[in-house]
A = this chain, B = another copy of it.
């Protein structure tokens, strides 16, 4: 029953934290094409992955179980901030004068400031169980590095972070935050790995990329038996861990007595999007009446248009070509997207699970320019009182446009998006925007076409 007094925030108790993660792969009639061994180009055997991942995560990566139980120990840590609130964005609704109901899942309230902590803790936990001493990883904007540093600190693991050089220089406070949790940080490309040295030889002034930083972290993990590699997005097990977001949101929408007509998330590698959207998409796959017409929108930057313009193919997850080949939309593993403030969305590829759902027509991708996104971010900040991360603001932009469309069509639709993180470490970007200095970095069309054409020459995954 709804009334004028219906709450702004739909809260769940700690007891209502989901007890299982949801594995959408189990529900797909057409399974995503498997990762390939880069040497043999045959489906990679799980054993080959054990140099860089612990056994339990490899099992989660390939499992066909529909649900995976969340260990008690993790539920205990999740309870430090989960369940996160689902918030009715009444301020934004009023600003837009829309009949639409807008909700957002507030993952920015996590101790690390974003959804990344959900999988960081899970990965640290499983590695710890298997006797791993240290995790190596990459970070772009810094959200993932922060989350993994916190998680390693919690489970008493060492943490080595390769931070994309441009972020390392621009965001000293992100670095300080990771050091606060005891992590060891290097600017990438670094002299510590062959992958890094190779880049520096040809590009001594390289400002780095996520792809390069991944190569460095993988190399470190592969060459030290006590160190494993940890990835903050893209892979099945990462998206799996993030489904706590959507499972909670589903319960919360039930409490609100509504069901979304449209769900929206931003997409870089795809982890916040997948984690938020998959439990809702399950309702659609199970052909539940209420979900039949639900639309699912994935939002990316025009400057890194992986889903809207990339080629569906087998490509590496990193620049140096150390990872397995993944069946995904890609701009090319050595393509370097132009600089934007949404470092977390500046990745050449995307999660195979999401690519596969886009191919199946279950997810509609859309792209926005940087100024469109910051315009939405400031509208949201002023009406809801939360400074959103530039990444998350892509979802806000789409939610605003949907709400305005609903208004022009006179429809009382229900729009739900995921606020994946806060923007307190991005005030420099906001300052630029407010002073009118923010550039709409766009892709070099000729260069991008060259990369895409090269990818089109490959035979597509089956």
- A451 interface residue, CB < 8 Å from B? no
> Given A79-B9, A382-B182, are A387 and B14 also a contact pair (CB < 8 Å)?
no
Does A425 contact B424, Cβ atoms closer than 8 Å?
Answer: yes
Give the chain B neighbours of A113 by CB distance below 8 A. Answer: 424
- A154 interface residue, CB < 8 Å from B? yes
Of B14, B91, B150, B176, the contact of A428 (CB 8 Å cutoff):
B176
Does A431 contact B173, Cβ atoms closer than 8 Å?
Answer: yes
- A381 interface residue, CB < 8 Å from B? yes
Identity of the chain B residue whose Cβ is nearest the Cβ of A87 in the assembled complex: B80
Chain A residues 7 to 54 lying within 8 A of chain B, measured CB to CB, are 7-9, 11, 13-14
Q: How far is the CB of A189 from chain B (nearest CB, A)?
A: 23
Copies of this protein in the assembly total 2
> Given A7-B79, A431-B172, are A381 and B180 also a contact pair (CB < 8 Å)?
yes
Alpha-carbon distance between A111 and B179 when the two chains are bound, in angstroms: 26
Alpha-carbon distance between A153 and B111 when the two chains are bound, in angstroms: 27
Does B109 contact A109, Cβ atoms closer than 8 Å?
Answer: yes
Q: How far is the CB of A255 from chain B (nearest CB, A)?
A: 12
Alpha-carbon distance between A79 and B153 when the two chains are bound, in angstroms: 34
Identity of the chain B residue whose Cβ is nearest the Cβ of A175 in the assembled complex: B431
Chain A residues 133 to 190 lying within 8 A of chain B, measured CB to CB, are 150, 153-154, 172-177, 179-182
Alpha-carbon distance between A91 and B387 when the two chains are bound, in angstroms: 28
Q: How far is the CB of A328 from chain B (nearest CB, A)?
A: 33
Interface centre among A180, A424, A431 (most CB of B within 10 A): A180
Chain A residues 119 to 136 lying within 8 A of chain B, measured CB to CB, are none
Alpha-carbon distance between A182 and B179 when the two chains are bound, in angstroms: 34
> Given A150-B385, A387-B180, A427-B177, are A7 and B14 also a contact pair (CB < 8 Å)?
yes
Of B79, B112, B425, B427, the contact of A8 (CB 8 Å cutoff):
B79
Identity of the chain B residue whose Cβ is nearest the Cβ of A171 in the assembled complex: B427
- A406 interface residue, CB < 8 Å from B? no
Identity of the chain B residue whose Cβ is nearest the Cβ of A113 in the assembled complex: B424
- A378 interface residue, CB < 8 Å from B? yes
- A417 interface residue, CB < 8 Å from B? no
- A434 interface residue, CB < 8 Å from B? yes
A-B residue pairs in contact (CB < 8 Å), sample of 13? A7-B13, A9-B14, A9-B79, A109-B109, A173-B424, A176-B428, A176-B430, A176-B431, A176-B434, A180-B378, A180-B434, A181-B381, A182-B382
Query: What 19 additional pairs, Cβ within 8 angstroms, besides A7-B14, A180-B434?
Result: A7-B13, A9-B79, A9-B81, A80-B384, A80-B385, A111-B384, A113-B424, A153-B382, A173-B424, A173-B428, A175-B431, A176-B430, A176-B434, A177-B427, A179-B434, A180-B378, A180-B382, A180-B430, A424-B425
